[in-house]
């Protein structure tokens, strides 16, 4: 699959567009996405699930740009949301609310109301209290809320502790041991209807075994529930499939899901998945320019115009992103610390990258499509980056660069 950036005639291109042209037209820092890569990632899942009753619910939090949501909506995707804001985005992007599942440990009542009025597919409920809140909100609206319980299968996904979510100690979901009692409670509440069951064990998972183990535990619970007279229509196994950032052996959707699908063989329940990172991560990059070179005896720094506020993953998780020159130059590479202008020592994009650089050079920080723009902030009063989508030979501005006036437009001073 050659949907990533490619070095052609001495410069990096995404699809048919030289990144140099994008920087010249829209400036830096700038996120750039490939329509072909987004489509290919979705098709990878679709093919893996061919012939089965399934719904791919894109996890909006990974990248919530309307153009990306719209593209997935047009491909037939559903959506996994975690806030009322994400629901509004999905609707604004032309997504079908009937294909939306609503996850999250702290849904507010107004968010529940909006989702009930929109007619979403299911609420992924994460606590006993939430069942009561949702029942009350639905009663107010004279509606019946479709629910699923997020159950912690208590399997170790073997990933970064910050993105491991299915263990007993996590704030997410309900304990496996409590699930039967909570389903009984859900079934007894007049304004709830039990529809499914869900789990999500973590993110950037490279080993397919924990997902299959989780599926087996969930299926055992589905059978227990059936014996107790509680029918489950769908099984939602969450997201979490990992991607290649460096040298990870990232599997295709078919390979990753094979043991899970084997565990599901012969089951009649509809299958839902909530992939985020694996649909968008490798379809995007962050384009940045070298402002200052600071050679030193201990370390040499390349200060670029993108920073931790634009791409937080290196500072937050010590994540590794490949960093490539857009127009590689001749000359001996030297190890550079690639850092941003933000006033924090943790503000870096890469350590010890062997590069031949001059001031003004463009760099592409790869695999930045997921949890990049979505986690960006205005720290240091830095306007957020522009976003561009390439499609063959064409480039589309899908989000304008913020300007500073927008950053303080909501603020006001005390009267004198």
Ligand X SMILES: *Cc1c(COP(=O)(O)O)cnc(C)c1O
Q: How many residues bind ligand X (CB under 6 A)?
A: 16
* Comparison of 13 and 150: residue with beta carbon closer to ligand X: 150
Closest contact distance (angstroms) between CB of 47 and ligand X is 18
Q: Is there a catalytic annotation at residue 57?
A: no
Backbone angles phi, psi at 51, to 5 degrees: 80, 5
CB of 401 to ligand X, least distance (A): 26
Which of 15, 26, 45, 80 forms a contact with ligand X (CB under 6 A)?
80
Neighbours of 346 (CB within 10 A): 12
Backbone angles phi, psi at 338, to 5 degrees: -95, 110
Residue window 356-375: x/- pattern of binding to ligand X, with contact defined by CB under 6 A:
--------------x-----
Q: Site for ligand X (CB under 6 A): which residue of 240, 314, 325, 369?
A: 240
- Judged on CB neighbours under 10 Å (0-12, 13-18, 19+), 186 is buried
Decide if 3 contacts 258 (C-beta within 8 A).
no
Q: Does residue 275 bind ligand X (CB under 6 A)?
A: yes
For residue 320, which phi and psi values (nearest 5 degrees)? -100, 125
Residue 132's contacts (CB-CB under 8 Å, 6 or more residues apart) are: 189
12 vs 155, beta carbon nearer ligand X = 155
Kindly state the smallest distance separating residue 245's Cβ from ligand X, in Å.
13
Residue 244 to residue 246: CA distance in whole angstroms: 6
Binding mask 188-227 for ligand X (x = CB under 6 A): ------------x--x------------------------
Residue 56 Cα distances to 60, 72, 98, 243, angstroms: 12, 10, 13, 17
Q: Does residue 173 touch ligand X according to CB under 6 A?
A: no
Residue 328 C-beta: closest distance to ligand X, Å? 31
Which one of the listed residues 30, 57, 122, 343 is annotated catalytic?
343
Compare residues 69 and 395 and give the one whose CB is closer to ligand X: 69
**Which one of 28, 63, 65, 103 is in contact with ligand X (CB under 6 A)?**
103
Minimum distance between the CB of residue 70 and ligand X, rounded to whole angstroms?
19
Cβ 61 to ligand X shortest distance, Å: 6
- The CA radius of gyration of the chain, in Å to the nearest whole number, is 23
E strand or H helix at 341: none
Using rule CB under 6 A, residue 274 touches ligand X: yes
- The Cα-based distances of 409 to 341, 405, 406, 412, 413 in angstroms read 24, 6, 5, 8, 11
Token pair for 367: 């695999």
3-class state of residue 254 by DSSP? helix
Query: Shortest gap between Cβ of 276 and ligand X (angstroms)?
Result: 3
Among 278, 297, 129, smallest CA distance to 202 is for 278
Q: Is 239 in the site for ligand X (CB under 6 A)?
A: yes
Q: List beta partners, residue 100.
A: 79
152 binds ligand X (CB under 6 A): no
Which of 14, 62, 385, 389 forms a contact with ligand X (CB under 6 A)? 62
Q: Does 277 bind ligand X (CB under 6 A)?
A: yes
Among 29, 238, 259, 350, binds ligand X (CB under 6 A): 238
Q: Phi, psi at residue 340, to the nearest 5°? A: -100, 180
Task: Give the integer Cα–Cα distance in Å for 79 and 215.
Answer: 20
What is the binding site for ligand X (CB under 6 A)? 59, 61-62, 80, 103, 200, 203, 238-240, 274-278, 370
Catalytic residue numbers?
343
């Amino acid at each position: 699959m050659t949907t990533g950036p490619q070095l052609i005639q001495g410069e990096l291109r995404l699809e048919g567009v030289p990144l140099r042209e994008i920087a010249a037209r829209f400036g830096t820092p700038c996120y750039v996405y490939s329509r072909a890569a987004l489509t290919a990632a979705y098709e990878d899942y679709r093919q893996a699930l061919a012939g089965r009753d399934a719904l791919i619910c894109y996890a909006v939090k990974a990248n919530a740009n309307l153009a990306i949501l719209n593209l997935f909506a047009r491909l037939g995707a559903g959506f996994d949301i975690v806030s009322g804001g994400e629901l509004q985005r999905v609707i604004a992007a032309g997504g079908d609310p009937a294909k939306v599942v609503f996850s999250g440990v702290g849904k507010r009542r107004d968010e529940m109301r909006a989702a009930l009025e929109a007619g979403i597919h299911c609420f992924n409920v994460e606590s006993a209290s939430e069942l009561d809140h949702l029942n009350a909100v639905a009663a107010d609206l004279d509606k019946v809320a479709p629910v699923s319980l997020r159950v912690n299968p208590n399997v170790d996904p073997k990933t970064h502790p910050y993105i491991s979510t299915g263990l007993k100690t996590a704030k997410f979901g309900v304990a496996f041991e409590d699930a039967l009692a909570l389903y009984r409670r859900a079934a007894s509440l007049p304004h709830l209807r039990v529809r499914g069951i869900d789990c999500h064990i973590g993110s950037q998972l490279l080993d397919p075994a924990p997902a299959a183990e989780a599926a087996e535990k969930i299926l055992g619970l589905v059978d227990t529930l059936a014996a107790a007279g509680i029918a489950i229509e769908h099984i939602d196994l969450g997201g979490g499939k990992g991607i290649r950032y460096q040298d990870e052996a990232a599997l295709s959707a078919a390979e990753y899901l094979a043991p899970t699908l084997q565990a599901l063989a012969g089951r009649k329940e509809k299958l839902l998945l909530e992939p985020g990172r694996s649909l968008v991560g490798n379809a995007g990059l962050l384009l940045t320019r070298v402002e200052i070179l600071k050679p030193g005896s201990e370390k040499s720094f390349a200060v670029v115009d993108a920073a931790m506020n634009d791409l937080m993953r290196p500072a937050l998780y010590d994540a590794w992103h490949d960093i490539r020159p857009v127009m590689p130059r001749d000359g001996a590479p030297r190890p550079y610390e690639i850092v941003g202008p933000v006033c924090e020592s943790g503000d870096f994009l890469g350590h010890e990258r062997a590069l031949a650089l001059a001031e003004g050079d463009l760099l592409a920080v790869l695999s930045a499509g997921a949890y990049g723009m979505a986690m960006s902030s205005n720290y240091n009063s830095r306007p957020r980056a522009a976003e561009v989508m390439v499609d063959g030979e064409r480039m589309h501005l899908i989000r304008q660069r913020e300007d500073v006036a927008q950053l303080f437009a909501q603020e006001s001073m005390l009267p004198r």
